[in-house]
Structure 1
Amino acid sequence: MLLPFNLPDGILLLITDELSSPADFLLHRTLVSHIKEAKNAKSIVFSVSEGIERWKAIAAKSNVNLPQYISSGTLTFIDVLSHVRSSLDSGQPSLRPLLELVKVPLQATNVPILVIVDDITSLEWIGFSLLDITGFTRALHATCRKANATLIIRHHNVTPAEPDDLFRHLLHICTYNLEVRPLLSGRSGSVSGEVALHPGISTPASTVKLIPRSSAIQYRLTDTGAVFFERGTAGGVL
């Protein structure tokens, strides 16, 4: 699903990042790979902070025409703010309308389904309570499990030294946590950051190779995406 990490389908992957090392490149990379690798695969993107134009522009660099997939119904792009604004204005915030939008796209099917939520943290910033958001993620997770869909949720870790309650909730329900961090020594010209892979709190032992922080994989951002490599081997691509 997500190279070079070789994660299985049908999981809940929590991607955490920091303001100095945003993980949007992983979301765009995964969507493009999903579309290219699986014929007639379905994709659903809940976008809170990025408009469709940015998704189109980045996909186009990989020769993927997102409007074509939106027109065919294989990609459902949901501008979250446009669907929840009325509930915020009324003083009764509700994320329920978002769940209604995916009932049809997530109906049982024999094709792979990818669901991306980008980004869950912004829902708190615009006025939704922790209870609203955790209820939404539980319901979406249950719906995705029923359809055997892969669910990816991005969470911004604003205070890495003091994880917030939303992160703790997501860590309890996720299968894996892909942690994107800046270099402790600061960003350099050849290295943009590093990535570690941890199990969720309730994840049983599996064959997936985990990546502890002590052995984190480094990456360098380019005009077309990211290049991954082992520490100390900036020229050796994984």
Structure 2
Amino acid sequence: MFSPFDLPIPISILITDELSSPADFALHQYLISHIKEKKNSLQIVLSVSEGLTRWQSISAKSNIDLPKQIAAETFHLIDVTSALESDKVASGSTPPSPFHALYEQIVSLFEKNKAAGRDSDALVILDDISSLEWVGYSASDLCRLCRALRALCLKNQATLIIRHHLVQTSGEMDPLFRHLHALCMYHLDVQPLTSGRSGAVSGQIALHPGPNAFSTLPSLVKVRSRSAALQYRLTDGNAVFFERGSSRGVL
């Protein structure tokens, strides 16, 4: 059975969703899977919309003790909004590059991780970039941030995951999406059902190759077009995937 989480590492993944079918579950599952598989590696969550309590609650349902990971300095959650506001206060004005201090903080975490002799194969999650654009950060600044994060992750053999809420205007995708798509190796596409809401089905999910997909091992990855998208149902702490017209199949 297809699983959107059976991907080689390190890679860059763009996750898109819509407000009626949020991809929170995918972000949490990537983190949980990474902690279980890479017990001595680094995880960094750059969170815009969810606090630490939420990440801890979801992880605990899969027997992941995030406070323990925090104490071991292998898991770090950075409240992006608070960090950016603190940078403005510290500088006394809006800095010319609004994400410079945030980026340097991430660089520092990688350096400390390397100095501690921990495993590579780190994970960086940016959730969610759309909200930063909605509160007034320019698309060009956000694009530069994502390019810098991708270069940093490539240098450190880390996986980068970026979540972006899709907003269509006049039938065209927004410019930020086009830029993010150009950076990614794979695009995880989470959508609502075309037929509307259902009590048994939460939405559908597809996996597309990105422009850089063939720099990985494509034979190991089974992509899914929208026409062949799997449906999913959210449970208390997980997601169940199944083919259209069937309720069978568990991730």
TM-score range, shorter chain: over 0.9
**Matches of 1:201 and 1:213, distance apart in 2:** 17
Query: Which ranges of structure 2 fall in alignment gaps of 5 or more residues?
Result: none
Q: Is the 8 A contact 2:206 2:230 kept in 1?
A: yes
Residues 38-64 of structure 1 show CA distances to partners (whole Å, capped at 9, x for unaligned) of 221210000011111111111111111
In the other structure, the counterpart of 1:133 is 142
Residues 159-184 of structure 1 show CA distances to partners (whole Å, capped at 9, x for unaligned) of 27421000000011100100000000
Residues 45-97 of structure 1 show CA distances to partners (whole Å, capped at 9, x for unaligned) of 00011111111111111111111111110001101011101456734460111
The amino acid across from 1:104 in the alignment is S
Residues 96-142 of structure 1 show CA distances to partners (whole Å, capped at 9, x for unaligned) of 11111111332455332111000011111122111110010001100
**Matches of 1:68 and 1:5, distance apart in 2:** 24
- TM-score w.r.t. the length of structure 2 is 0.88
Residue number among 95, 99, 102 corresponding to 2:103 in the alignment: 99
**Matches of 1:4 and 1:94, distance apart in 2:** 33
**Matches of 1:76 and 1:106, distance apart in 2:** 11
Alignment of 1:60-209 (within 5 A): 60-86=60-86, 90-92=93-95, 94-107=98-111, 108=114, 110-159=119-168, 161-204=171-214, 206-207=218-219, 208-209=221-222
**Matches of 2:67 and 2:136, distance apart in 1:** 31
The amino acid across from 2:9 in the alignment is D
How far has the Cα of 1:4 moved from its partner? 4.5
Q: Is the 8 A contact 2:43 2:76 kept in 1?
A: yes
**Matches of 1:88 and 1:213, distance apart in 2:** 42
Residues 3-56 of structure 1 show CA distances to partners (whole Å, capped at 9, x for unaligned) of 454211111100000000000110011111111122212100000111111111
**Matches of 2:168 and 2:57, distance apart in 1:** 31
The amino acid across from 2:66 in the alignment is L
**Matches of 1:185 and 1:119, distance apart in 2:** 27
**Using a 3 Å threshold, how does the CA distance of structure 1 residues 111 and 91 change in structure 2: closer, same or farther?**
closer
The count of corresponding residues between Structure 1 and Structure 2 is 237
Q: Is the 8 A contact 1:106 1:144 kept in 2?
A: no
Q: Is the 8 A contact 1:88 1:127 kept in 2?
A: no
In the other structure, the counterpart of 2:239 is 226
- TM-score w.r.t. the length of structure 1 is 0.93
RMSD: 1.9
> Are positions 1:56 and 2:56 aligned together?
yes
Query: Which ranges of structure 1 fall in alignment gaps of 5 or more residues?
Result: none
Q: Is the 8 A contact 2:5 2:30 kept in 1?
A: no
Poorly superposed stretches of 4+, deviation over 6 Å: none
Percent identical among aligned pairs is: 54
The amino acid across from 1:120 in the alignment is I
**Matches of 1:111 and 1:5, distance apart in 2:** 19
**Using a 3 Å threshold, how does the CA distance of structure 1 residues 31 and 165 change in structure 2: closer, same or farther?**
same
Q: Is the 8 A contact 2:87 2:101 kept in 1?
A: no
Q: Alignment partner of 1:198: what SS?
A: strand
Residues 169-212 of structure 1 show CA distances to partners (whole Å, capped at 9, x for unaligned) of 00111001000000000121111100111111343382121100
More helix by share: 2
